Amino acid sequence: MPLKYGYINYRQAIRRALALGYSGPICCEHYGSDSLGVIAENVHYVRQVLTSALA
């Protein structure tokens, strides 16, 4: 399942990590069908969150 549809508020988690000084990589794992599609959605979502958080 893509990050944006899960139970965890990744937008809040990423913003919190940035606020605490985290500047490393963000790894998203996926197990199941259509991994390329889900990974592409996750990349887009994380980039969107980072753009918003760093603006």
20 phi/psi in degrees, rounded to 5? -90, 5
Q: What is the pLDDT of residue 23?
A: 94
How many whole angstroms separate alpha carbon 45 and alpha carbon 10? 9
**Total domains in the fold of the chain:** 1
Q: What is the pLDDT of residue 48?
A: 95
Q: What is the pLDDT of residue 32?
A: 76
How many whole angstroms separate alpha carbon 29 and alpha carbon 13? 16
Record the pTM.
Answer: 0.84
Structure confidence by residue, pLDDT tens digits, 11-55: 999 999 999 999 999 998 888 778 889 999 999 999 999 999 998
Give the closest residue to 3 by CA, choosing from 21, 50, 24, 18: 50
Q: What is the pLDDT of residue 31?
A: 80
Q: What is the pLDDT of residue 2?
A: 87
Q: Do residues 10 and 16 touch, judged by C-beta distance below 8 A? A: no
Domain that holds residue 10: 3-53
- What's the gap between Cα 30 and its chain centre? 12
9 falls in which pLDDT band (50, 70, 90)? very high
